Chains A and B, each alone.
Chain A
């Protein structure tokens, strides 16, 4: 019987024989991750376990990205605790300040996660690394503490939903639109406990950054992981970023899937997820003319260089509408520098944008772009739950960088082609 990608990756990290969905297997992990919000809890459990050292000081990543630069005394205290823990354990992958970026953009860029890895993180968007062909998923604090201590964890082998993406990509369509469309199809719990596996001609031709944008939002469909094959695109990315020891990996042709979804992109418009759930997805034409007060371009979903280029392409020679705060947050210091070197900052500044540091910031309603009552933001982030970006009476619409940029110029949600 053929195997899915999820089964194949897990098999590489366990001595048990993976026979199929539902089985529980104990696996070695390649990397364990926690951030400035979740690490303090995990450290507490770690100590309760009586652990005195981490399993491998080079394979525990502690990324202080959510409230960075620390927004208040409480967040600074949390980070101080994690910093002291990292020093005590000799953790080499501790990131704060100028070498810190949004975790799920930072770790692939540094080659700390890559094809065929098993990664667990105390953050639900750990699934991002599935874009590179890693089995990566979020967990609770006690699980992460145990993985930090032992370098292994248990998984229930998930059934897989296969998503085939076909057709010809029209102008202005991007990876974000494809994942929003997928979530619109499955619903927010349609992939509960399951793996999403992406394939088809459009996926084969897609770059690694786009794949990570899609994998990032697997959790928004309830999914455990969102997986892409390890092909030349993934291998080239891994090589360029110094992640060694990868081999090609694909699902078997006769792999058993629970369900198949087919998406044809040829006539698809950019998609927008309306308040207050990521599966409330509509083509942009059906949302147009919704007035916005803020446009956020950044996050672990769409804060990479290709996203900033897409936004700059729309903004070049244009200005954000009066009354719209356009906020651009490159996701890592390296992306920040690259955007600066490519002259994108001139485009953004000319458009009236505020360029912020690499941070999660407004994505989770942390800081640097919080909404007041009655305000509405379009954002390239991944969640539009009630109150996610500020007041319980504010609204968030999720879109691609191109649509977020065009909407900033128009002052209302708009298809970039209609500017």
Chain B
């Protein structure tokens, strides 16, 4: 899979309350959650994000609660991929399960500046910074995870598998 979009950078330890504060957990509707994505970071922050843009975070992105609403909110904002130094454990699982692509790149995250145009190739395992011309090598998304993403998340993935009699 290839994603091209503008980078929106943020700091370390962005927790699930920053991604989607508890007061917005009264719905499980992806689009509705998307409107309030990152409200706990900075009110109105999400307004500058366009569908197809890319989140770029420092270490431990998604720490805190196990709420599956957090990856849903990001997807609801039209963001399909998050690149980070590292992810918190339960968020990492929940992300893929909800159909959000997550790419871990460690310290190389410092080479990406806010507003850079990126091309993330999860099959080849490379991020091309189209603004600076730099390339960052990363782990490709493994085929087993790609299958879950292709299905649109874990619920549809399992539904498909069960339907196929697997």
A51 contacts B by Cβ under 8 Å: yes
Whether B144 pairs with A140 at a CB distance below 8 angstroms is no
A383 contacts B by Cβ under 8 Å: no
Instruction: State the CA gap A192–B40 with chains docked (Å).
Output: 23
Contact residue among B86, B154, B166 (Cβ-Cβ distance under 8 Å from A143): B154
Instruction: State the CA gap A143–B142 with chains docked (Å).
Output: 18
Instruction: State the CA gap A22–B141 with chains docked (Å).
Output: 11
B123 contacts A by Cβ under 8 Å: no
Instruction: State the CA gap A51–B154 with chains docked (Å).
Output: 12
On chain B, the residues within 8 Å of A141 by CB distance are 68
On chain A, the residues within 8 Å of B68 by CB distance are 140-142
Identity of the chain B residue whose Cβ is nearest the Cβ of A48 in the assembled complex? B155
A173 contacts B by Cβ under 8 Å: no
A310 contacts B by Cβ under 8 Å: no
On chain A, the residues within 8 Å of B139 by CB distance are 22
On chain A, the residues within 8 Å of B86 by CB distance are 193
* Given the contacts A139-B90, A139-B93, A142-B97, A150 and B158 also touching, CB distance less than 8 Å: yes
Least Cβ–Cβ distance between A145 and chain B, in angstroms = 8
Instruction: State the CA gap A145–B97 with chains docked (Å).
Output: 11
Interface residues of B in 137-166 (CB under 8 A from A): 139, 142, 144-145, 148, 154-155, 157-159, 161-163, 166
Instruction: State the CA gap A288–B166 with chains docked (Å).
Output: 60
A45 contacts B by Cβ under 8 Å: yes
Whether A140 pairs with B66 at a CB distance below 8 angstroms is yes
Whether A49 pairs with B162 at a CB distance below 8 angstroms is yes
A398 contacts B by Cβ under 8 Å: no
Whether B145 pairs with A146 at a CB distance below 8 angstroms is no
Instruction: State the CA gap A189–B90 with chains docked (Å).
Output: 13
Whether B162 pairs with A146 at a CB distance below 8 angstroms is no
Whether B159 pairs with A140 at a CB distance below 8 angstroms is no
Could you tell me the dominant secondary structure of chain B's interface residues?
Answer: helix
B89 contacts A by Cβ under 8 Å: yes
Instruction: State the CA gap A154–B96 with chains docked (Å).
Output: 10
On chain A, the residues within 8 Å of B101 by CB distance are none
Contact residue among B63, B92, B159 (Cβ-Cβ distance under 8 Å from A50): B159
B36 contacts A by Cβ under 8 Å: no
Least Cβ–Cβ distance between B113 and chain A, in angstroms = 26
Least Cβ–Cβ distance between B92 and chain A, in angstroms = 7
Instruction: State the CA gap A335–B98 with chains docked (Å).
Output: 41
Instruction: State the CA gap A22–B145 with chains docked (Å).
Output: 13
Least Cβ–Cβ distance between B138 and chain A, in angstroms = 11
Identity of the chain A residue whose Cβ is nearest the Cβ of B90 in the assembled complex? A140
Whether B154 pairs with A146 at a CB distance below 8 angstroms is yes
Interface residues of B in 57-77 (CB under 8 A from A): 60, 63, 66, 68
* Interface residue tally for chain A (C-beta within 8 Å): 27
B94 contacts A by Cβ under 8 Å: yes
Instruction: State the CA gap A150–B159 with chains docked (Å).
Output: 10
Identity of the chain B residue whose Cβ is nearest the Cβ of A224 in the assembled complex? B89
Interface residues of A in 61-96 (CB under 8 A from B): none
* Given the contacts A140-B97, A193-B89, A24 and B145 also touching, CB distance less than 8 Å: yes
Least Cβ–Cβ distance between A222 and chain B, in angstroms = 8
Whether A49 pairs with B92 at a CB distance below 8 angstroms is no
Instruction: State the CA gap A193–B59 with chains docked (Å).
Output: 12
A149 contacts B by Cβ under 8 Å: yes
A26 contacts B by Cβ under 8 Å: yes
On chain A, the residues within 8 Å of B96 by CB distance are 154
Chain A interface residues toward B at CB < 8 A? 22-26, 45, 48-52, 139-143, 145-146, 149-150, 154, 156, 189, 192-193, 222, 224
Q: List 23 A-B contacts (CB under 8 A).
A: A22-B104, A22-B139, A24-B142, A24-B144, A25-B144, A45-B155, A49-B162, A50-B162, A51-B158, A51-B162, A139-B93, A140-B66, A140-B90, A141-B68, A142-B68, A145-B158, A146-B154, A149-B158, A149-B162, A150-B162, A189-B63, A193-B89, A224-B89
Chain B interface residues toward A at CB < 8 A? 60, 63, 66, 68, 86, 88-90, 92-94, 96-98, 104, 139, 142, 144-145, 148, 154-155, 157-159, 161-163, 166
Please give me the 3 A-B residue pairs with the lowest Cβ-Cβ distance, nearest first.
A49-B158, A193-B89, A50-B159
Given contact pairs A140-B94, A142-B155, A222-B89, a sample of 11 additional A-B residue pairs in the complex whose CB atoms are under 8 Å apart: A48-B155, A50-B163, A141-B68, A142-B68, A142-B97, A143-B97, A145-B158, A146-B155, A150-B161, A193-B86, A193-B89
